[in-house]
Structure 1
Amino acid sequence: MRRADRLFRIVEYLKARREAVTAKELGEELEVGVRTIYRDIADLRASGVPLSGEAGVGYLLSSDYVVRPLLFDGEELDALALGAQMVQSWADPAMAQAARRALDRITAVLPDSLGDNIRQTTAYSYPSPGKPALQIDFTSLRRAIRTRHVVEFCYIDRPGSETTRRVRPLSLIFLAPNWLVAAWCELRQDFRHFRLDRMQDMKVLDQGFENETGKTLDDMRKQSEA
């Protein structure tokens, strides 16, 4: 990676994160040593990039800083094209359409030579006959996660037992060929994962929810790591 590209990638990486990032994490991401990151941070600061933090603690980039656009390389375009195809193959129709729009928008602003990379990609994802059928509205569930609304549904577990669940949906997880929703379950008073193809009669309730200590996505991740 050219040094200029590495400097831009540091800024891009920090811009996408709200918490301090250590030089070790940056070095692992960019496959360079910590000393190289220290020199790059010093050069970025000297050029006026508003970085705060220090060695051993981590670095933050001001949220007001605007990252100038940079063209994608061939590998990145292949990844974007394949990712969009996978979304179209495995997600709900609304998200599939959004993926197509996003890819069209990217292709429209690329030079012809790079736009051809997307149009003539050699990596493909096709719908699978093993894709489980869903009896719930996938789009409504996605939006309930974004708007933080409680959902209620009938759940059928592996042995075939049915229970009514009321949950705070936190995230969607794709473990091919199945989609799962990670949630805080009011019945179990704990985090649970539910397969979407085992959910029936789902309703998005008017009841909203706020982040509450012990019941957030971050809390679930920490519990899993522990």
Structure 2
Amino acid sequence: MIRAERLNDIVHYLRRMHQAVTAETLAKTFEVSPRTIYRDIQSLIDTGVPINGEAGVGYVIDKHYHLPPIMFDADEIEAIALGIGMVSNWTDQAFANKAQSAFKKIQATLPPLLLHELHQISTFSEPSHYKIPWEVSFTEVRECIRRKHKIQFNYLDLQDRTTQRTIWPLALVSFSPVWLLAGWCELRQTFRNFRLDRISGFETLKQSFPNERDKNLKAYLAQVEHD
């Protein structure tokens, strides 16, 4: 890693931390010596980055500090392009349009060298006939998750039995080629996963759901990890 990249990454790292970070921790993270970290921190301070602290105690950064435009390396650009291609091919048109819009904004900030690298990308995501179609609006589901609106729908299980469910939607999870809607099911009083392609009669309810500790996304992810 060249020094300019490391300095930028140190700033990002400190912004993510909620407590002071020692030079030794930074040295291990960036695989350099503590002495190098001391010099890097001083260089950042000299250029106006609001880092407070001292050697042996730890460093913190003012969270109100605004970073300059983010720069990417060639591999990061390729990863972003691949991710945007996958969004375009495996979600819906509205979300694909947002992904393409974001990528155009990123391209507009790239220097000529990285634009050249972008045109040399050799990792792609293409449309697939294995994609399983669904009737529900992918974008509407995302909005319900974001706005914490309850939803109601008919669900056809793998035994071809249909039940009506009221769900607190928490996340959309891709198990290609299947998309799952994860949420708290009022009928079963537990977390459940629902295949989008088996949902019909989808309805967004006016009622919102609270962020209860045992029914939120964090609790869902903890259960998945435990299982």
Q: Which runs of 5+ in 2 are unaligned?
A: none
Partner Cα distance (1:107, 1:74) in 2: 12
TM-score, structure 1 normalization: 0.83
Q: 1:197 to 1:34 in 2, by over 3 A?
A: farther
Q: How far has the Cα of 1:160 moved from its partner?
A: 1.3
Q: How far has the Cα of 1:137 moved from its partner?
A: 1.1
Q: Which runs of 5+ in 1 are unaligned?
A: none
Question: Residue in 2 aligned with 1:98?
Answer: 98
Question: Residue in 2 aligned with 1:154?
Answer: 154
Superposed, 1:1-226 pairs within 5 Å as 1-15=1-15, 17=16, 19=18, 30=29, 32=31, 39=38, 43=42, 47=46, 49-50=49-50, 61-226=61-226
Q: 1:215 to 1:40 in 2, by over 3 A?
A: farther
Is the 2:85–2:125 contact (alpha carbons within 8 Å) kept by the matching residues of 1?
Answer: yes
Q: Percent identity?
A: 39
Q: Tell which structure's C-alpha radius of gyration is larger.
A: 2
Is the 2:26–2:37 contact (alpha carbons within 8 Å) kept by the matching residues of 1?
Answer: no
Q: How far has the Cα of 1:104 moved from its partner?
A: 1.1
TM-score, structure 2 normalization: 0.82
Q: 1:164 to 1:4 in 2, by over 3 A?
A: same
Letter in 1 for 2:168: R
Q: Residues 172-210 of structure 1, C-alpha deviation per residue, up to 9 Å, x if partnerless? A: 111111111111111111111111111111111111123
Q: How far has the Cα of 1:144 moved from its partner?
A: 0.8
Q: Residues 79-123 of structure 1, C-alpha deviation per residue, up to 9 Å, x if partnerless? A: 111111111110111110111111111112222332232234211
Letter in 2 for 1:156: L
Paired residues in the alignment total 223
Partner Cα distance (1:184, 1:37) in 2: 49
- The CA RMSD measured in Å over matched residues stands at 3.2
Helix, strand or coil: the match of 2:31?
coil
Is the 2:135–2:200 contact (alpha carbons within 8 Å) kept by the matching residues of 1?
Answer: yes
Partner Cα distance (2:77, 2:119) in 1: 10
Partner Cα distance (1:53, 1:175) in 2: 45
Q: 1:151 to 1:33 in 2, by over 3 A?
A: farther
Helix, strand or coil: the match of 1:69?
coil
